[in-house]
Structure formats: C-alpha cells, structure tokens
C-alpha cells in the first residue's frame, strides 16, 4: 500500500482556502481532508455542505470527509451530493454502524470508521470486512495543532492485525500531530494515509511541506516493507 498525504483544511487560512489547496496539490497531495464538527460530539464547529461544494470546484483531488458529529446519518446524503468522495464516521456515536457504512457505500462513496484514542479496536470486529479504510485518531478530536499521542502506533498495529484477520487490505489513515517527527512511527506500524494539518498549512510553504512528508513517509514505508517476513505481501 502506497503512502498517501491528506492535508487538512482545519489548519488552513479559510479566507484563502483555494490558495492553500492549490499549493498542496502542487506538492503532490493525494486527498483533501475535511473535518466536520457539530459542537456536540466535539467542542468545536467547522464546515457544512456548502463549503464542501465550494472545495469541489477548486480542486481535482478527492475530498476526504471526517464527520465528528452526533448524528452522521442525517448529514451523509448532503455531503455526498456536495462532492465528498470518502466519508468516515465515529463508532462512538453509532449503535447501528453496519447500516451507516452501507448508506455511505450506497451513495457511491468510500466508507471509513474513525476511532478516538480511548476507543478499543475490538469494536470494529463485526464490520472489519466491510470497511474501505479505518481512521485512527492520534489526538483527541476537536482541534488542530495538538500533540501526537505516542501510543498511537500500537493502536495502528492492532487495527492492521484486525483488518488482516478479516482478509481486508483496507488502508489505515492517521489523524493528529502528524509531522516529520511522527510520520515514520505510524507508517512503520502499518498506516498508509497521513492527515496533516498544522505541519502543512502553518509551514509557510505548503507545497514543500507536502513533498517533505511524502519523502519521509516513503522512506518509512520502505523500512516497513523490508522488515516484513518473507512471503508476506508488501
């Protein structure tokens, strides 16, 4: 699985989103990560479908939506119509998780499930075979610029083991505190997609920051591949 870089607009200049996104694209970004917060599941408010629709007009990259909301089923169709390509929802708020995953897929989108730092990996056991990706939060959700939680790598390993046992090669996305000092940690543990907010948008040069993250991520992925036992797929 190749490393993918997903700059997060949460840390971008909202008065110049198109400029920041264009710079990230020039740097080789693969996705644009959009954090949707409702002020209830997390203590913050961010964007709705009109912003996603505007983003769709200024970028060719897939829009990767992370719904940090109490009632995601209510909003999924509107975000799909606005131009989302991927939607992840939080297991912590969904008593009928399988139904929500099916809803996302029925709209032609990739379906992911996000895990808070304190949420056990085992809660994905019954849906592991159905997921297109898993989003591991390496900070508590709600705000950008937080410090990476060092235990996140072990959680990534546990998610990778769960998916492998389910026969699902779905990638693992990691969000929170990802920079040049932490990206290798989670990639060597088994992660594939990196959400990067402050380390890209606050760098002064988003294009160069994306390139540097990709270089560091590719090096870590090569180390991971070299460490695998013979006979295991890369």
Segment 93-136, tens digit of pLDDT = 999 999 999 999 999 999 999 999 999 999 999 999 999 999 99
Is there a contact between 119 and 92 (Cβ–Cβ < 8 Å)?
Answer: yes
Confidence at residue 77, expressed as pLDDT on a 0 to 100 scale: 98
Instruction: Please tell me the distance from the alpha carbon of residue 234 to that of residue 225, in angstroms, as a whole number.
Output: 6
Domain edges within the chain: 4-227
> Per residue in 193-202, pLDDT tens?
999 989 998 8
> Per residue in 9-60, pLDDT tens?
988 888 889 999 999 999 999 999 999 999 999 988 899 999 999 999 999 9
Q: Tell me: pLDDT of 87 over 60.
A: yes
How large is the C-alpha radius of gyration of the chain? 16
Instruction: Please tell me the distance from the alpha carbon of residue 16 to that of residue 9, in angstroms, as a whole number.
Output: 11
Instruction: Please tell me the distance from the alpha carbon of residue 194 to that of residue 87, in angstroms, as a whole number.
Output: 15
Q: Tell me: pLDDT of 232 over 50.
A: no
Confidence at residue 89, expressed as pLDDT on a 0 to 100 scale: 98
Confidence at residue 197, expressed as pLDDT on a 0 to 100 scale: 85
Is there a contact between 163 and 141 (Cβ–Cβ < 8 Å)?
Answer: no
Class of the 4-227 domain? alpha beta
Confidence at residue 44, expressed as pLDDT on a 0 to 100 scale: 86
Active site residues: 35, 175
How large a percentage of the chain has pLDDT more than 70? 97
Whether the predicted model's global pTM rises above the 0.85 cut: yes
């Amino acid at each position: 699985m190749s490393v993918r870089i997903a700059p997060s607009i949460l840390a971008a200049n909202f008065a110049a989103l198109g400029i920041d996104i264009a710079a990230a694209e020039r740097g080789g970004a693969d996705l644009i990560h959009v954090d949707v917060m409702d002020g209830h599941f997390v203590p913050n408010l961010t964007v709705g479908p009109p912003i996603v629709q505007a983003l769709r007009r200024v970028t060719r990259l897939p829009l990767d939506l992370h719904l940090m909301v109490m009632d995601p089923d209510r909003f999924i169709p509107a975000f799909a119509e606005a131009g989302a390509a991927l939607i992840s929802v939080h297991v912590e708020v969904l008593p009928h998780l399988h139904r929500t995953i099916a809803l996302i897929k029925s709209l032609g989108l990739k379906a992911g499930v996000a895990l808070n730092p304190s949420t056990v990996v085992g809660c994905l056991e019954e849906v592991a075979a159905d997921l297109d990706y898993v989003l591991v939060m390496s900070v508590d959700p709600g705000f950008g610029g937080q410090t990476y939680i060092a235990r996140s790598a072990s959680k990534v390993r546990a998610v990778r083991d769960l998916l492998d046992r389910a026969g699902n090669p779905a990638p693992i996305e990691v969000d929170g505190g990802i920079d040049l000092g932490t990206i290798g940690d989670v990639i060597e543990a088994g992660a594939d997609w990196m959400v990067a907010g402050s380390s890209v948008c606050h760098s002064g040069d988003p294009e160069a920051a994306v390139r540097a993250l990709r270089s560091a991520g590719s090096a870590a992925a090569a180390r991971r591949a070299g460490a695998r036992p013979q006979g295991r797929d890369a």
